[in-house]
Amino acid sequence: MNIRIGLGFDSHVFEEGKPLYIGGLRIEYPKGLKGHSDGDVLLHAITDAILGALGEPDIGQLFSDRDPRWRGASSEIFLKEALYRLKKRGYKVVNLDCTLVLDEPKIAPYKEAILENLSKLMDVSKDSISIKGKRREGFCMEEGVACFCVILIAHES
C-alpha cells in the first residue's frame, strides 16, 4: 500500500476584537487569532500536514501573506486547495490527529462541533479524526494558540 505521512504546525497570537475561528467553527471569545487570513490555526496546520504528506509546496508558498487576495480570507479556501491536490494525486485520508495548545478558550465544549465541521469539510468520517486540547504550560511566550497535526494518507489504487 502506498501510504504517506504529513506533519503540520501553526501558531497565532490573539488579537482583540477579531472573530475567533478554530477548525472552521466560530467560537464566542473576545479575541481572535492575528493573521493575514481569518487566522484559523487548526485549518492552517491541517492544510500544511496534507501538503507535506504530498510533498507539495507549503501553505505559505501557495497563499502568500503578502497577497491581498487572502486578506481576511476564510482558511477553508486553503484546506480545499490541499484536498483538491490530494484527490488529484489519487490519495485519501486514512486518519488525522491534531493537538491544539492553548489556555483559553477551553476546547472541550467545542470538540464535537469542530469534529463535525472538519468531517464535513474534509469528507472524512469523524472516527478518523482526533482533536485534543492541551494547556500551554509555559509553551509560547505570547498568548495565543498553537496546533500540531499528523495525517496519514493512502493511495486509492
Residue with Cβ nearer Mg ion (10 or 76)? 10
Is residue 76 close enough to count as binding Mg ion by CB under 5 A? Answer: no
Query: Which of 20, 21, 42, 44 lies at the binding interface for Mg ion (CB under 5 A)?
Result: 44
Select the span of 15-23, 39-47, 48-56, 132-140 touching Mg ion (CB under 5 A): 39-47
Total of chain residues touching Mg ion, rule CB under 5 A:
2
Residue with Cβ nearer Mg ion (25 or 154)? 25
Select the span of 3-11, 47-55, 91-99, 129-137 touching Mg ion (CB under 5 A): 3-11
CB of 63 to Mg ion, least distance (A): 10
Query: Which of 6, 8, 10, 151 lies at the binding interface for Mg ion (CB under 5 A)?
Result: 10
Could you give the angle at which helices 111-122 and 41-54 cross, rounded to 10 degrees?
40
Residue with Cβ nearer Mg ion (8 or 133)? 8
Contact of 60 with 44, CB cutoff 8 Å: no
Residue 125 amino acid letter = S
Q: Which residue is nearest to Mg ion (CB)?
A: 44
Question: How is residue 19 annotated by DSSP?
Answer: P
Long-range contacts for 110-119 (Cβ within 8 Å, ≥24 apart)? 110/22, 110/25, 110/27, 113/25, 114/22, 114/23, 114/24, 114/25, 114/42, 117/23, 117/24, 117/25, 118/23, 118/24, 118/46
Contact of 59 with 22, CB cutoff 8 Å: no
Q: Which residues bind Mg ion (CB under 5 A)?
A: 10, 44
